[in-house]
Amino acid sequence: MPIVTGTDTAKTRRQLSAGGQSVDYYSIPAATEAGLGDFSKLPAALKVVLENMLRFEDGGKTVSTDDIKAFAEWAEKGGKNPREIAYRPARVLMQDFTGVPAVVDLAAMRDGIVGLGGDAQKINPLNPVDLVIDHSVMIDEFGTPRAFQFNVEREYERNMERYTFLKWGQKAFNNFRVVPPGTGICHQVNLEYLAQTVWTDKDQDGREVAYPDTLVGTDSHTTMVNGLAVLGWGVGGIEAEAAMLGQPISMLIPEVVGFKISGALKEGVTATDLVLKVVAMLREHGVVNKFVEFYGDGLSNMPLADRATIANMAPEYGATCGFFPVDEETLRYLEQTGRDKDRIALVEAYARENGFWRDESYDPVYTSTLELDLGDVVPAISGPKRPQDHTPLDQSARAFWELVMGERYPEESERAEIRWDMEGGADEPGYVPGGRHKGFSEGAVEGEEYTLHDGSIVIASITSCTNTSNPYVLIAAGLVARKARELGLDRKPWVKTSLAPGSQVVSEYLEAAGLQDDLDAIGFNLVGYGCTTCIGNSGPLEPAISKSINDNDLIAVSVLSGNRNFEGRISPDVRANYLASPPLVVAYALAGDMNIDLTRDPIAQDKNGKDVYLKDIWPSTQEVAEMVSRVVTREMFQEKYADVFKGDERWQGVEVTDSETYDWPSTSTYIQNPPYFQNMSKQPGEIEDIKGARVLALLGDMITTDHISPAGSFKESTPAGKYLTDRQVPPREFNSYGSRRGNHEVMMRGTFANIRIRNEMLDGVEGGYTKGPKGEQESIYDASMQYQDQGTPLVVIGGEQYGAGSSRDWAAKGTNLLGVKAVIAESFERIHRSNLVGMGVIPFEFTEGDSRKSLNLTGDEEITIEGLGDVKPLEVVDAQIKYADGTEKTIKIKARIDTEVEIEYLKNGGVLHYVLRNLAAA
């Protein structure tokens, strides 16, 4: 794809010299001089989008001068002007869970375009695509020196079919690179190596042009790189495929919420504590579909690693992105992480010349603002099932009792008795949550006897891109381990501990500091480089522990340094999940119990039997900063990323065929040719009315994409498990839903199959069940197949924030393959709404205060939506509800088809069908 088109805006093109090079660029001040509007008060995040309009202005085919002028009107109107624009990101980032189905789609599109009489080579990424394999390593082995080696070997055993397919894709497609397994998490590799802040490339005339580094990614936490002033956000694989094939992203000029940062963090407070506070504040403020930009003097006290932590969790606070403008700290980080010095000079010069630089005078217009004094942030965790459930650390034990157990928090004298009981000091438990004596169960691991109860922490994991990108919290975790080791402390024997860094650089500086030995001593051995626990790859618990939890209906707990703690995500054995900083994860592993108040109660006893408190092992801010300064070096990054695409001998040994179309192996249970493009017509159709649809699922608020399309493990008894056992795949080799995303047969069976999802059509039932055509309880998959055999369309009903969480395209693909024609909810999260449209499923929102509850819906209704053949973007249409008793009611619902382009997508049956037909016609 050309990096510029520039017709009418050629007069805004200027030259810039920096770092020994001369480049062209599109100047925002020049656009003002040309009479296109005053853009001086735009936030830097929006200026990135404006520059994109200047560079791709093409006389109105996709971008017009009126689109450019609309940005000046945005500032004049106080931060609002929702005009539809066509935005073209510079590149695409993928990981293997979402990347495999994307490459499957590309391979299927090659077959499809040949079927339409076109050229297979037209299906090639026009934008650079990097796919980082980071989602496949599982924690089978932990707490031993051989854990890393063992887990990597099992990873290759499980995933060789997928890795062979990805390596074929790297060979078959242009502009497509794969970062092999064992390198790191895609967002951290992006932050530390791939991202450049300012990109350069040659235009059609061979002249070098500088422009902002931008991207979309098939993982919702693509937003992390906004901490480096790189505008990026997560999209579904469907939308990413369209973008890489040259299709602009249709979007509305967003509102931008300004988040002013002042002050500095207090002693002992971490970046994780800060981000959990920010998530809670922004969720309350309401930032869905909006940009958030951070500004204020407090940024001068915030290292880039902390910024990246905040930017990473934009999906958790609901924003499209959380952007930090370029400043001195941006340059310092680029220098530290080994970027070319000429590139760093260009970043500074470009940012200053084009209005992207933050200094003390930076004061743009925002749609709305809120403010946080860093000095007000306190140590905290979030849970037990949502990232925004912010809980100050001194309230964590109380919150567990009151929110999870539904019980009065005991007084100090009672808590002393509880601790005595929990430590085995009584024959029978005393005051326990709910008086549940069954809450205590004897268990043993490796000969150690202990008692499990409600609140026992069975997983403590330093994991995910969010925090393992930050040397301050990783070093702090190592120092907690060192101090604990010196006192003779160890993890509790029932706690599964793990350390999965986001990149190999982390291991380098932990080794250089001598802290890895301390982490190993208390069970935090390296288990792999990848997402692991955060995406449900926590691996199985010890059989005795799993049995004890399930036989006694215990509420077991996980504590992880991740960004997601949704129900059923972390482990099927764990019902309460908490997000915490890496040093707190270590502390909770030592305590082993969520009932313990870490701010008041002793964590454990030292080798002399003396009580040890959190303050005894917590490092000072200065201690952490000095060690980070000493051990984290530029040379580490340069060394580790020197051969980032090479991989180890296992990856180099993966052999692939040389063919432009993929030879789909009929016996594969990982990779199958999806049905989307088979027997496809050359011409699009019309959007069809939905008549007499039945309800497949009636769901509540905050139904996440994990609920809709789980990523973790599954059992033999599930439809997906039965499919695999029918093909002689033993349960040990099931792997996970995430790893099976290249096989639509597995994934459609896993749709709405989360073990914690609750279909309100059934009374108190958890899991992927519904009422079938005969009114009997059965799996959602089986019911769907029966309805489809009858030719009956289906709808799903939801509550608020439907589709929150991961940018999981299979949440939309699976919905489509189950025969669902529409989802009607109170509100949608941004990415999933877009994914539904991209797969030909229409999202509708209730209006006029209606909801599933106010309408007394039970799921036994029939729903008809007509007049869709000429529906307009955001049009309010009639929906007729026919209740089981024969009564009828008509309500108004809004079609969340947000743009004209999305109308075309739906007429074609989806965005990829639209792109494929256009490429074939060309």
Task: Please name the residues in contact with 747: beta carbons below 8 A apart, sequence gap of 6 or more.
Answer: 101, 709, 720, 737, 740, 741, 810, 813, 814, 817
Averaged pLDDT, 98-114: 90
Domain boundaries, the chain: 8-86, 380-632, 690-921
Q: What is the pLDDT of residue 429?
A: 37
Other beta carbons within 10 angstroms of residue 10's beta carbon come to: 12
Better pLDDT: 141 or 799: 799
Share of the chain above pLDDT 70, in %: 94
Asked whether residue 528 carries a pLDDT value surpassing 80, the answer given is no
For 380-632, CATH gives: 3.30.499.10
- Position 562 scores a pLDDT of 78
Q: Fold for domain 690-921?
A: Aconitase; domain 4 (3.20.19)
- pLDDT (average), residues 516-523: 95
149 pLDDT tier (thresholds 50, 70, 90): confident
Sheet holding 214-217, edge to edge: 176-179, 129-132, 91-95, 214-217, 231-234
pLDDT tops 60 at residue 436: no
pLDDT band at 60 (very low <50, low <70, confident <90, very high): confident
pLDDT band at 19 (very low <50, low <70, confident <90, very high): confident
Residue 449 has pLDDT above 80, yes or no: no
Mean pLDDT of 431-437: 35
- CA 99 to chain centroid: 13
Asked if residues 76 and 41 have their Cβ atoms less than 8 Å apart, the reply is no
Between vectors from CA 593 to CA 587 and to CA 595, what angle results, nearest 5°? 115
Q: How far apart are CA 623 and CA 617, in angstroms?
A: 12
pLDDT band at 433 (very low <50, low <70, confident <90, very high): very low
Read off the pLDDT band of 614 (50, 70, 90): very high
- Per-residue pLDDT band for 805 (boundaries 50, 70, 90) equals confident
Q: Using the structure block, give the residue that is written with the tokens 């925090």.
A: 467
Name the nearest CA neighbour of 528 among 168, 907, 271, 148.
148
Sequential DSSP letters for 668-711: -SS----STTTT--SS---PPPEEEEEEEEE--SS-BHHHHS--
Predicted local confidence at residue 33, as pLDDT: 95
Are 380-632 and 690-921 in the same CATH fold?
no
Distance of alpha carbon 135 from alpha carbon 97, whole angstroms: 6
Mean pLDDT lowest among 350-364, 416-430, 678-692:
416-430
What pLDDT shows up at residue 532? 66
What integer is the mean pLDDT of 92-106? Answer: 89
Q: How far apart are CA 451 and CA 466, in angstroms?
A: 33
Residue 541 clears pLDDT 70, i.e. is over it = yes
Q: What is the pTM of this model?
A: 0.83
In whole numbers, what is the pLDDT of the chain averaged over residues?
Answer: 90
Residue 173 has pLDDT above 60, yes or no: yes
Rounded average pLDDT over 216-245? 91
DSSP-derived pairing of the beta strands 690-698 and 876-882: unpaired
434 pLDDT above the threshold of 70: no
Does the pLDDT of residue 567 top 70, yes or no?
Answer: yes
| Range 182-198 average pLDDT | 91
Grade residue 129 by pLDDT with cuts at 50, 70 and 90. very high
- Lowest-confidence segment of 208-212, 336-340, 539-543, 727-731 by average pLDDT: 539-543
| Helix 237-244 vs helix 911-921: crossing angle, to nearest 10 | 20
pLDDT score recorded for residue 415: 62
pLDDT classification of 864: cutoffs 50, 70, 90: very high
Average pLDDT, integer, range 580-603: 94
- Looking at residue 473, its pLDDT comes to 92
The residue with greater pLDDT, 788 or 435, is: 788
The residue among 330, 371, 372, 470 whose CA lies nearest residue 44 is 330
What integer is the mean pLDDT of 528-544?
Answer: 76
- Average the pLDDT over 732-748 and give the result: 92
pLDDT at 382: 86
Q: For residues 594 and 439, give the distance between their C-alpha atoms in angstroms, rounded to a whole number.
A: 14
SS3 282: helix
Query: Which among 247-251, 440-444, 463-467, 894-898 has the top mean pLDDT?
Result: 894-898
Point out the least confidently predicted range of 394-408, 549-563, 594-608: 394-408
Based on DSSP, count helices (H) and strands (E) in the chain, helices before strands.
Answer: 32, 34
In angstroms, the CA 640 to CA 617 distance is 32
- Whether the pLDDT of residue 661 is over 50: the answer is yes
Would you place residue 441 in the very low, low, confident or very high pLDDT band (cuts 50, 70, 90)? Answer: very low
Which residues make Cβ contacts (< 8 Å) with residue 763, sequence separation at least 6? Answer: none
